Structure 1
């Protein structure tokens, strides 16, 4: 039997490692990704101020696998009912697919935004943001960050921290369509994040819907404009091109078709309680375990051909807590308690190192902790 995992993000790596442990040694596992490294996405904003972290956050995929085969190839399409995968240079057939392609930045067909704004999805994006920000540190200027989700908050905070040591006067403005920052999170967490942003020197404008952009101006649906020297867009996610740009909605068993399951940002998941699961690293990793279990059950059933089809596992979203960096500070919510300052920052560092250790990147985890706790300053 052969299982193909499409995408080596959080869900893809976690799911592949789970299958390596649970499937029969005779079963084949192929992990497909167009890049040869796994990116620790939730820490990418740190590369803007600490470019030396880039190597620690890009992990060779083959080093993370025990027996699965890694195939570096671009997925251009797939059939969830036949488990056939279209690649840029051929096809791949399997008994089951795990679709973990992740998501790409959504620009919502807003005129000029794709052309003039920098997203934050790749190391190259972080490096470009840093390069574009350097002249502002010397001569001054304004930065507009679109979207006050976790990514937007983290990059706005990072740039505000860098602006504190700049020779020029740099203003960082974070704009959000809805009425609060981190709008899909608990109210106490929202308030704490808004306070942290304010204290870090970030100007926050909520209730502001971006309509279009030129090379130096952002326009809003209300009819007003905001001039900028640098524009960063983190305002939403869309499905990958291989999935037609869509993030299909699936039920709690994560089944996408007769022979495919999905996990992570590649789909919109409704859990066992009928609640939509947020797009996050912790969500992707936990969904990966459910998808892997269900693939294992169906393969075992097909091998024996006996009895009824197995009862599939179902994903239930459980809030484990939330963490967000805001420059040199952080905000954390664990249970009903929200903390800021040194405790939140230490927790953020521990979680980041813990993920690296969980996928076998122990040296990278050590380097990351040293960079964060060992007194490194923004470059």
Structure 2
């Protein structure tokens, strides 16, 4: 499936008569899109192809739980090869390296194994319609030392790296405390950026720390953890109303998180952050969650991008330079008419954009006029692990927002992931996976420690 020769894709017996739709990126929007396209068209008259550099999908809003060890990604990941067989599309592993708009082909870079050996040679894939849904990466804003000395949470691999380093540091402290019970040893973690990722990770770390004593670290508990959350702006969670952001900050303070607002990081060094106020902050682990941007290669594709390297699109989700190329999700920038700001990079926006792209590809094939994307803000929810959940619902649907906290907010937050499962698996399998998830929470360990 993932290593077919290029000529089978470009000039095979089906390519001359099938409409070929290529989606690059198997994130929340891309995977939902190929499922819809595969379910709509199948393989008789159309060839639907998903391209991704990874072999499996994990919902990005869950990566903070993977990093803390609260979620076993092996249970929640979706393998593209099994999913494509179910839904009637093809999967090719690879990274996008270029687009030839004249020939209507994309180029994929070679795929190498962990030892640098070439597994899949670089090749090209023909398209009639191309959709770019490659997501985003962390924005370091050019701060010196961030790339070299901070950890991002953009992918499962990065979350796994953080979890391994976290557990090693917890084990170090636990052993030191066993050797000397009077020692004041701590695992120091600095998180830069108090948006959803930073705040949720800070709370999840305390949840994990409280459970470690049940898994061999008998003398380790929450008091051995020191988490500092740094935010350059005047308050945390700027997407939420000030009252709810204040409630979240109070909850973080109760857990023991040190929250520092109006604190700009100007340099990173090994185990040290430097702020504009002249402060030096030491930490065993430094996580950078201060913002997102488009991947660097997006600026070299010959498509118009903004200063954050996102591809600028029309309301139809078509790029400004080519009507045959669409973009959606975090890698796309669309500012509705009359608005000052583009659609925010959220999972809900990616799902909604995928729905519009699906309809517009179908309408384009039929020769019908395309629809303009209308963003329906469902609000924002922030999970503080098992401790609390806060958020605002409905957004512009009712001309305002409805503040929610506690169990109701937690239920709705969990429902968002359930809707994601339904979006990529359909109703039958989606409901079945929800039931399995409930069972796993009861019978499996609370933490993934390997």
Q: Same fold (TM over 0.5)?
A: yes
CA distance in 1, matches of 2:333, 2:240: 17
Contact 2:129/2:324 (8 A) holds in 1: yes
CA distance in 2, matches of 1:127, 1:33: 19
**Matched residue, 1:314:** 372
Counterpart secondary structure, 1:359: helix
CA distance in 2, matches of 1:80, 1:238: 24
Alignment of 1:66-145 (within 5 A): 66-79=87-100, 83-88=104-109, 89-134=122-167, 135-136=169-170, 138=174, 139-145=185-191
Which of 283, 293, 298 is equivalent to 2:364? 298
**Matched residue, 1:20:** 38
Q: Does 1:333 align with 2:399?
A: no
Counterpart secondary structure, 1:338: strand
Counterpart secondary structure, 1:242: helix
CA pair 267-373 structure 1, distance change in 2 beyond 3 A: farther
Alignment of 1:1-379 (within 5 A): 1-23=19-41, 25-50=44-69, 53-65=72-84, 66-79=87-100, 83-88=104-109, 89-134=122-167, 135-136=169-170, 138=174, 139-164=185-210, 166-167=220-221, 169-244=224-299, 246-256=309-319, 257-274=322-339, 275-301=341-367, 310-328=368-386, 329-335=388-394, 336-360=401-425, 362=430, 363-372=432-441, 377-378=446-447
Q: TM-score, normalised by structure 2?
A: 0.76
203-212 or 13-22, larger mean C-alpha shift: 13-22
CA pair 371-186 structure 1, distance change in 2 beyond 3 A: farther
CA pair 370-188 structure 1, distance change in 2 beyond 3 A: farther
CA distance in 2, matches of 1:337, 1:375: 36
Contact 2:198/2:229 (8 A) holds in 1: yes
Q: Show structure 1 runs of 5+ residues with no match.
A: 302-309
Q: TM-score, normalised by structure 1?
A: 0.89
Q: What is the deviation of 1:333?
A: 2.3
For residues 288-319 of structure 1, give each alpha carbon's deviation from its aligned partner in whole angstroms, at most 9, with x where no partner exists. Answer: 11112112222222xxxxxxxx4321112211
CA distance in 1, matches of 2:443, 2:331: 36
User: Which one has more relative contact order, counting CA pairs under 8 Å at least 6 apart?
Assistant: 1
For residues 105-128 of structure 1, give each alpha carbon's deviation from its aligned partner in whole angstroms, at most 9, with x where no partner exists. Answer: 222221111111111122222222
For residues 61-109 of structure 1, give each alpha carbon's deviation from its aligned partner in whole angstroms, at most 9, with x where no partner exists. Answer: 1333311111112211225676421111011121110111111122222
CA pair 375-202 structure 1, distance change in 2 beyond 3 A: farther
Counterpart secondary structure, 1:44: helix
Let me know the Cα RMSD of the aligned residues: 2.4
Higher Cα Rg, which structure? 2
Q: Show structure 2 runs of 5+ residues with no match.
A: 1-18, 110-121, 175-184, 212-219, 301-308, 395-400
Contact 1:353/1:368 (8 A) holds in 2: no
Q: How many residues align?
A: 371
